[in-house]
Amino acid sequence: MHLGLDSSTQSLKGIIIDPVTGTVVHQSTVNFATALADYPAAFSPSGDPLEKHSDPRLWLAALDLLCRRMADAGAPLAQVKGIGGSGQQHGSVYLTAEATAILAGLDPAGCLIDQLTPAFSRATSPIWMDSSTTAQCAELTAAIGPRLQTDTGSPAIERFTGAQIRKFARQDPAAYAATDRIHLVSSFMASVLTGTHAPIDSGDGAGMNLLNLHTLGWDAEICAATASGLLEKLPSVAANGAIAGKLSPYFIKYGFSPDTRVAVWTGDNPASLVGTGAARPGLAVVSLGTSDTFFAVLSPYRTDPDGCGHVFGNPAGGFMCLTCFKNGSLARERVRDLTGVDWPFFDVTAFEQTPAGNSNQLALPWFEAEITPPVLTPGLRANFDFDAAPPAVKIRAVIEAQMLSMRVHSHWIGDFKAIRVTGGASRSTGILQTLANVFQARVETIAVQDSAALGAAMIAAHAVSGHDFDSLASAFAPALDTVDPDPTTVPAYQSALAAYLELERTAR
Ligand code: XUL
């Protein structure tokens, strides 16, 4: 059996798979808002609304709680041979030199938070929702030039770890100097599980603006330009399929075997690529989670000429290209709250009551500063009187704009005949049909909604027990349901696409 963990923005999820029988044997979740509300998941320490940090103790509390819940639910933890994991991308964790000994000596009689709190050199962790580093991005662009994008896969990006580290080093030089190791959320969680500093993989490492995609190692010149002494503070970079280490004896108390091995963790999107069965070229994936992302394997990779998209490592080898939208499910929740409807109305009825592709009713749900396209002044923008419109019109106007934006900003990745869809909103038939129509592509769902946790379990099965990714994908991620595009909507969406582009141009 292999356990996959996904430490995401709003929850920690665990899935146990048995690759021999091809079955998912256990699933558990810790929802941060309901179970761990004492530790904020996304807040601004300085009050700047563009700043978004998490309390890293949240992830420690969640790990203890999830293990306890899995044990209490009778999950077969003693049979788990390998643990894999994924983390929300770009978020960073800052540790002192004492962290090394603390990690190595975790005492099962205590809990993770109490023992690891003294290990942090920075009390908060900037996460992917942070857009507060425009000045640092400009400085990095000036220092490195176009090579930053061609060699790291992305131009300087606000939420990427390099700009975040530069801001911290300038704002709090003493705390930066006291920082011995900077982890991503993924490598931090793997470090806690193994009791040693775990490496970073190229899937998640490429989201830092520090990894050279040609060498798959840290780019010394870019690291030096980002912050002094940075290279010495970074964990090593691991090759695909690498093992981070044996499970720390701390976790035996939950019923794990002392022989359990931990695979190197990756980012949630690279893990989802594996978990949706899209780690080979041909299929695109749309992940409708806290963020909405569009990604696919691209070999050889190319970078986004508009500078919005990214190249990350593919845990199954090679690279993936991705575009990320910040106003994903949180925006859909905002619209549902402000219309006062229930989810069945939002997911189905709203689409039955309104025509597809109305170019005079589009609404950009930029409740938060947007990543794609980059917009720093939040606020909804519509090309009609949004406030006066009935709920069904409001809902379709937002979903149409989300899907049209995805079409426009994923164009650089390619045209796809089939799109795999995952994440919470993939239950919505209205959203699935809109996606199929806007892209004129077949939309496929898979059985497991938490594709990052599933992908993490598959990565563990590959790294620890040698299962190959193709058989894992056929066993765990076959297409379940298919939604075909409606060809009669093509003219309407052609006009809607032009109207969307005009709205985006005038609204920014
Ligand atoms: C990807 C990104 C988000 C986070 C969300 O670049 O910023 O999708 O990974 O967890």
pLDDT range class, residue 272, cuts 50, 70, 90 = very high
pLDDT range class, residue 340, cuts 50, 70, 90 = very high
Q: Is the CB of residue 269 below 6 angstroms from any atom belonging to ligand 1? A: yes
- For residues 322 and 247, membership in a common domain is answered with no
- For residues 33 and 104, membership in a common domain is answered with yes
Which atom of ligand 1 is the closest one to the Cα of 371?
7
Rounded to whole angstroms, the Cα distance separating 190 from 180 reads 17
pLDDT range class, residue 449, cuts 50, 70, 90 = confident
Average confidence (pLDDT) over 130-157: 98
Which tens digit of pLDDT belongs to each residue from 399-413?
A: 999 999 999 999 999
Determine, yes or no, domain membership for 459: no
Residue 47's Cβ-side half-sphere holds a number of Cα atoms within 13 Å equal to: 0
Question: Count of CB atoms within 10 A of residue 32's CB?
Answer: 21
Question: Count of CB atoms within 10 A of residue 333's CB?
Answer: 16
- For residues 131 and 208, membership in a common domain is answered with yes
- For residues 228 and 174, membership in a common domain is answered with yes
Please give the structure tokens belonging to residue 107: 């005492």
pLDDT of residue 334: 97
Average confidence (pLDDT) over 258-267: 98
Distance of CA 474 to the CA centre of its chain: 23
With a pLDDT cut of 70, the percent of the chain lying above it is: 100
Q: What is the CATH number of the domain that holds 200?
A: 3.30.420.40
Determine, yes or no, domain membership for 270: no
Which atom of ligand 1 is the closest one to the Cα of 268?
9
- For residues 318 and 177, membership in a common domain is answered with no
Which atom of ligand 1 is the closest one to the Cα of 322?
6
CB 82 within 8 A of CB 465: yes
Average confidence (pLDDT) over 441-450: 94
- For residues 282 and 254, membership in a common domain is answered with no
Q: Please give the residue that has the higher pLDDT: either 188 or 425.
A: 188
The reported pTM is 0.97
Determine, yes or no, domain membership for 273: no
Average confidence (pLDDT) over 100-113: 98
Give the Å distance between the CA of 322 and the centre of ligand 1. 10
- For residues 82 and 230, membership in a common domain is answered with yes
171-180: long-range pairs with CB below 8 Å, 24+:
172/122, 175/94, 175/121, 175/122, 176/121, 176/227, 178/96, 178/121, 179/94, 179/95, 179/96, 179/121, 179/122, 179/233, 180/95, 180/96, 180/97, 180/99, 180/100, 180/121, 180/233
CA-proximal residue: ligand 1, atom 8 (nearest): 291
Determine, yes or no, domain membership for 455: no
Question: Count of CB atoms within 10 A of residue 232's CB?
Answer: 9
pLDDT range class, residue 508, cuts 50, 70, 90 = confident
Rounded to whole angstroms, the Cα distance separating 203 from 238 reads 10
- For residues 241 and 289, membership in a common domain is answered with no
Give the Å distance between the CA of 249 and the centre of ligand 1. 31
CB 200 within 8 A of CB 185: no
Q: Is the CB of residue 136 below 6 angstroms from any atom belonging to ligand 1? A: no
Give the Å distance between the CA of 128 and the centre of ligand 1. 6
CB 26 within 8 A of CB 17: no
Give the residue from 264, 297, 329 where a domain finishes.
Answer: 264
CA-proximal residue: ligand 1, atom 10 (nearest): 88
Determine, yes or no, domain membership for 409: yes
Which atom of ligand 1 is the closest one to the Cα of 293?
8
CB 442 within 8 A of CB 484: yes
Rounded to whole angstroms, the Cα distance separating 420 from 435 reads 11
pLDDT range class, residue 77, cuts 50, 70, 90 = very high
DSSP labels for 247-311? Answer: PPGGGGGGT--TT-EEEPPEEHHHHHHHHTT--STT-EEEEESSSEEEEEE-SS----TTS--EE
Which tens digit of pLDDT belongs to each residue from 205-246?
A: 999 999 999 999 999 999 999 999 999 999 999 999 999 999
Does 299 have pLDDT greater than 90? no
Q: 237: part of which helix (H) or strand (E)?
A: strand 237-238
Give the Å distance between the CA of 73 and the centre of ligand 1. 30
- For residues 206 and 257, membership in a common domain is answered with yes
Q: Is the CB of residue 52 below 6 angstroms from any atom belonging to ligand 1? A: no
CA-proximal residue: ligand 1, atom 9 (nearest): 89
Q: Is the CB of residue 383 below 6 angstroms from any atom belonging to ligand 1? A: no
Determine, yes or no, domain membership for 272: no
Q: Is the CB of residue 268 below 6 angstroms from any atom belonging to ligand 1? A: yes
Q: Which domain holds residue 238?
A: 2-264
Determine, yes or no, domain membership for 269: no
Give the residue from 264, 295, 325 where a domain finishes.
Answer: 264
Give the residue from 238, 264, 290 where a domain finishes.
Answer: 264
Which tens digit of pLDDT belongs to each residue from 26-52?
A: 999 999 999 999 999 999 999 999 999
- For residues 94 and 231, membership in a common domain is answered with yes
Which is it for the CA torsion 33, 37, 42, 44, positive or negative?
positive
- For residues 486 and 361, membership in a common domain is answered with yes
Number of domains in the chain: 2
Q: How many helices (H) and strands (E) does the chain have?
A: 21, 24
Which tens digit of pLDDT belongs to each residue from 471-492?
A: 999 999 999 999 999 999 999 9
What's the whole-number average pLDDT of the chain?
97
pLDDT of residue 470: 97
Which atom of ligand 1 is the closest one to the Cα of 287?
8
- For residues 191 and 300, membership in a common domain is answered with no
Determine, yes or no, domain membership for 221: yes
pLDDT of residue 116: 98
